[in-house]
């Protein structure tokens, strides 16, 4: 299957499922010799007032096609390490919090108002945020 044919089929399928043509359709990956083909469709969702990404996957060998909404996408390197408590970090360590894609940098821990608190900033910023609970975080390499 050619690239142009895959884009045409994916666009037709997306339009049939969603009731409108996508704003764009691009090839994400294509396995050799009739393997899996993944395409990306961008659309604007008025409900959430934001662009939404969908992936259309074609499997020519199985005569199958599917449409999936991409909820979130990140690099693998940001999730290689096991989760650990905030108290286990050292100054300069980078991490993400649960349900958050922002990368934070650990600054220090100190006694504040009679409670051990953990200070951190958004990566590249100076404002220190304080957390008095020893929450579970996800270390990252960025």
Q: What is the pTM of this model?
A: 0.63
Chain segment 10-25, per-residue pLDDT in tens: 999 999 998 989 988 9
Chain segment 82-122, per-residue pLDDT in tens: 899 999 999 999 999 888 878 999 999 999 999 999 999 99
The pLDDT of residue 140: 86
Q: How confident is the model at residue 47 (pLDDT cuts 50, 70, 90)?
A: confident
DSSP string covering 12-52: HHHHHHHSS--SEEEEEEE-TTT--EEEEEEEEETTTTEEE
Chain segment 120-133, per-residue pLDDT in tens: 999 889 899 999 99
Q: Which CATH architecture best describes the domain 3-70?
A: Single Sheet (2.20)
Contact in structure between 96 and 103 (CB atoms under 8 Å): yes
The pLDDT of residue 42: 87
> In the chain, pLDDT over 90 holds for what percent of residues?
59
For the chain, the domains span 3-70, 76-140
**CATH topology agreement for domains 3-70 and 76-140:** no
Q: Which CATH class is domain 76-140?
A: mainly beta
């Amino acid at each position: 299957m050619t690239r142009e044919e895959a884009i045409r089929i994916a666009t037709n399928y997306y339009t049939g499922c969603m009731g409108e043509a996508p704003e764009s359709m691009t090839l994400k990956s294509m396995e050799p010799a009739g393997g899996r083909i993944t395409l990306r469709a961008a659309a604007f969702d008025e409900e959430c007032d934001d662009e939404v990404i969908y992936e259309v996957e074609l499997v020519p060998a199985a005569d199958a096609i599917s449409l999936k909404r991409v909820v979130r996408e990140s690099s693998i390197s940001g999730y290689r390490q096991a989760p650990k408590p905030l108290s286990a970090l050292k100054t300069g360590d980078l991490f993400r919090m649960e349900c958050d894609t922002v990368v934070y940098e650990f600054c220090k821990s100190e006694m504040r108002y009679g409670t051990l608190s953990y200070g951190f900033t958004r990566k590249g910023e100076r404002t220190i945020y304080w957390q008095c609970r020893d929450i579970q975080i996800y270390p990252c390499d960025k």
